[in-house]
């Protein structure tokens, strides 16, 4: 979050000099692959750096800021450049292929990978599934009044979940609608969706919901403090951060909430869009 990183484990921290980056805000997750870290920066560079030597393996130059995380299928690195998606050779950073998005369905969200296929979500809620060669598998068009982002999208073995004021569940194999459930009418946000044994857990700004496999809301947990960012699943508990700088955890039935960590510095003068969590 911003320029600060929090680590709650006994591990060796990796450092790299990011001073050449104009804005010290990261809009994405870096990609770690075979001992290399791959990321985009505000200069429009996509870089591969060796984790051990900290030497740059290659740099791909793009004229605009890179907002989306790189992803990998085989030996190709895929990156969303807003107006297009490109594939780079992971060994040398050379462009292998590219595809332009339709002007009426711009994609500004993250690319997601599952089962060897690529999933994109347009600015106007067109969910698309592609092969690595950009061949369309299926498309699903949701209501454009329910603004969605891939930060709150979940892909499971059977379904793709995404949404804003309405949560959609779509069959992952053929793109058919399984169900849709209204989350809110106004003055709220759908922040994150996480998998559970018999459905999904959804976090909103002021509430957690448990939704079963038929799209029915079966449990609710009102939040005393507004939440933001991801809902993170680890060891059968769900972790989330609130505006008071506290990280909480809760069980899958939304009954037992506990304080996990206090003292996260949230600067009120700077907007925080998301949280980034990883557990091992």
Distance (Å, whole) CA 122 – CA 260 = 35
Please state the domain extents for the chain: 65-261
pLDDT of residue 240: 94
DSSP per residue, 80-128: E-SSEEEEEETTT--EEEEEEPPTTS---SPPEEETTEEEEE-TT-EEE
The tokens of 35 are what? Answer: 């001992």
Residues in the chain: 280
pLDDT of residue 13: 43
pLDDT, one tens digit per residue, over 56-112 is 999 999 988 888 889 999 999 999 987 899 999 999 999 999 999 988 988 888 899
Q: What is the mean pLDDT of each run of 10 residues along the chain (280 residues)?
A: 43 50 57 92 89 94 88 95 92 96 87 94 92 96 74 91 92 97 84 92 94 96 90 93 93 95 76 67
pLDDT of residue 147: 66
pLDDT of residue 137: 97
pLDDT of residue 27: 60
- DSSP label of 102: P
pLDDT of residue 7: 45
Distance (Å, whole) CA 257 – CA 249 = 6
Distance (Å, whole) CA 180 – CA 166 = 7
Q: Of 269, 19, 274, 3, which is closest to residue 150 (Cα–Cα)?
A: 274
Question: pTM, whole model, 2 decimals?
Answer: 0.84
pLDDT of residue 5: 45
Architecture in CATH for domain 65-261: 7 Propeller (2.130)
Distance (Å, whole) CA 192 – CA 208 = 10
């Amino acid at each position: 979050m911003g320029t600060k990183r929090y680590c709650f484990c006994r591990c060796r921290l990796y450092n790299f000099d990011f001073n050449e980056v104009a804005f010290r805000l990261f809009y994405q997750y870096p990609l770690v692959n075979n001992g290399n870290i791959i990321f985009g920066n505000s200069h429009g560079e996509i870089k591969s750096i060796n984790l051990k030597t900290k030497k740059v393996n290659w740099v791909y130059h793009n004229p605009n800021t890179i907002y989306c995380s790189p992803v990998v299928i085989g030996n190709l690195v895929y990156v969303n450049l807003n107006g297009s998606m490109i594939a780079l050779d992971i060994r040398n950073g050379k462009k292998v292929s590219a595809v332009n998005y339709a002007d009426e369905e711009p994609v500004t969200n993250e690319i997601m990978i599952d089962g060897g296929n690529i999933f994109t979500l347009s600015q106007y809620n067109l969910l698309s599934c592609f092969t690595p060669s950009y061949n369309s598998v299926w498309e699903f068009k949701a209501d454009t009044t329910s603004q969605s982002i891939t930060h709150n999208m979940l892909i499971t073995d059977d379904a793709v979940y995404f949404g804003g004021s309405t949560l959609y569940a779509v069959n992952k194999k053929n793109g058919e609608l399984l169900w849709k459930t209204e989350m809110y009418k106004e003055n709220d946000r759908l922040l994150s969706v996480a998998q559970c044994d018999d459905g999904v857990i959804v976090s909103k700004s002021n509430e957690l919901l448990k939704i079963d496999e038929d799209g029915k809301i079966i449990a609710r947990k009102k939040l005393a403090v507004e939440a933001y960012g991801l809902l993170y699943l680890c060891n059968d508990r769900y972790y989330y951060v609130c505006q008071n700088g506290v990280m909480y955890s809760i069980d899958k039935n939304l009954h037992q909430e506990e304080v996990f960590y206090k003292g996260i510095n949230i600067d009120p003068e700077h907007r925080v869009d998301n949280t980034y969590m990883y557990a091992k």
